[in-house]
Amino acid sequence: MTLKVGVLGYRFMGKAHANALARLPMFFPDAPDVERHTLIGRDEEALSEAADRLGFAHTSTDWEEVIDEVDAFYNLGPNFVHAEPSIAALEAGVPVLCEKPLAANLSDAERMAEAARSADVPTATAFNYRFIPAIQYAKGLIEDGVLGEIHQFRGRYLQDWLVDPDAPWSWRNDEELAGSGALGDLGAHTIDLARFLVGDVERVSGHLQTFVDERPVEGESTGDGETAADETRPVTVDDAYSAQAELEGDVMATFEASRFANGHKNDHTIEIHGSEGSLKFSLERLNELEVLRGENRGYETVLVTDESDPYVEHWWPPGHVIGWEHTFVHENYEFLSAVESGTEYHPNFADGVAVQKVLDAIERSDESGEWLQVE
């Protein structure tokens, strides 16, 4: 059986997932056969060009027409379009992979999770960092008790693409379209890893800040190579956030993210401290895990590229590193294998709404100035 995949969105995430789908048969021979069936977007000319480049057989400007034609639906659009197409696909019994955060707000995320429960088909919230071999290796160390009793989790995600106050406005700067800024865009990844590696978030105290209140809108060309940029739009989301949190088992946690961290391009770092050891991971060195064990005086750097390490046997000889794009191959392999077999997949929509509840509580805590339980 060949699984026909329909994909809504063809820019950043569309390219990442299309690349993953193309790589599957080359490196994962036991993966399901997949057809990149239909690419969905609004601009017919740009859509046609993208479909040719990304290897899709068909295009459509109407996602409703596609749902009955595919075996899996990928919703890679902006946050505000996550809910309705995903719910419609689930009501038609079609498995759905949706980009993170699950929705622009908690209400929509809960509707999506309820639709997933009713549909009883595999769903995925696209937290691709779970599928980094070093993160999987860290999960194994924690489950084997190498770190002992976990005391602290620290996570930060730093970028700098909005430091320039003249950087143009986009949908990511609008609360109605994105839901939140650095909190949802970056913090969702950190919170998911905290849940995956340590446990659920039980209460939070959050702080959000916006550094630039309005940004220029990219205008029409003036004909002399310049762009008119007189119009501005307000920024209604956070540029940075921080939060204190308590995870299950009385684990202390701190979360932080910024799109204003000058000098940081894609710096996602986590640390976990336990009674018997600790570990550190950085996305900018994603083939490595720093581990402190028992009585050792310092951290050892483990290169997670051996054949026995998670997913590595599918790629290159030991010591030959993989990169960011490969996380999507692993994610697609696991999700589509679940679709083919009808088995449960994680992180699913229930995991996505669990993260969304934390995002919502952090925002409400910032408004109230109080610690809040994550309900």
The domains of the chain, with CATH numbers, are: 2-128 (3.40.50.720), 133-322+349-373 (3.30.360.10)
DSSP 260: -
In the block, tokens 């308590």 appear at 246
Taking the C-alpha atoms of residue 74 and residue 93, their distance in angstroms, rounded to an integer, is 14
Q: Where would I find the H helices in 96-199?
A: 106-119, 133-143, 175-178, 182, 188-197
pLDDT tens-place string over residues 29-65: 999 999 999 999 999 999 999 999 999 999 999 999 9
SS3 content of the chain, % helix, strand, coil (to 5): 40, 25, 35
- Return the SS3 of 204: strand
Tokens of residue 65, six digits: 């027409």
DSSP state of 184: I
For residue 12, which of 55, 75, 57, 76 has the smallest C-alpha distance?
76
pLDDT in tens, 321-345: 999 999 999 999 999 999 999 999 9
d(CA 220, CA 365): 41
Tally of CB atoms within 10 A around 280: 19
Tokens of 281: 């991971």
- Give me the helices (H) in 212-314, please: none
Neighbours of 265 (CB within 10 A): 10
CB 168 within 8 A of CB 217: yes
* 72-75 sheet: strands from edge to edge: 58-60, 33-40, 2-8, 72-75, 96-98, 123-125
**8 A C-beta contact, residue 204 and residue 374:** yes
DSSP class of residue 96?
A: E
How far apart are the C-alpha atoms of 35 and 5, rounded to whole Å? 6
Closest by CA to 109, choosing from 327, 332, 361, is: 361
pLDDT at 222: 37
Residues in the chain with pLDDT values less than 70: 219-229
The helix/strand/coil state of 126 is coil
Rounded to a whole number of angstroms, the CA Rg of the chain reads 21
Which pLDDT belongs to residue 149? Answer: 98
Residue pair 366/183 in contact by the 8 Å Cβ criterion: no
Beta-carbon contacts of residue 324 (< 8 Å; ≥ 6 apart): 266, 283, 286
DSSP 8-state symbol, 171:
G
Calpha distance 39→8 (Å, rounded):
6
Measured CA to CA, the distance from residue 114 to residue 320 in angstroms comes to: 43
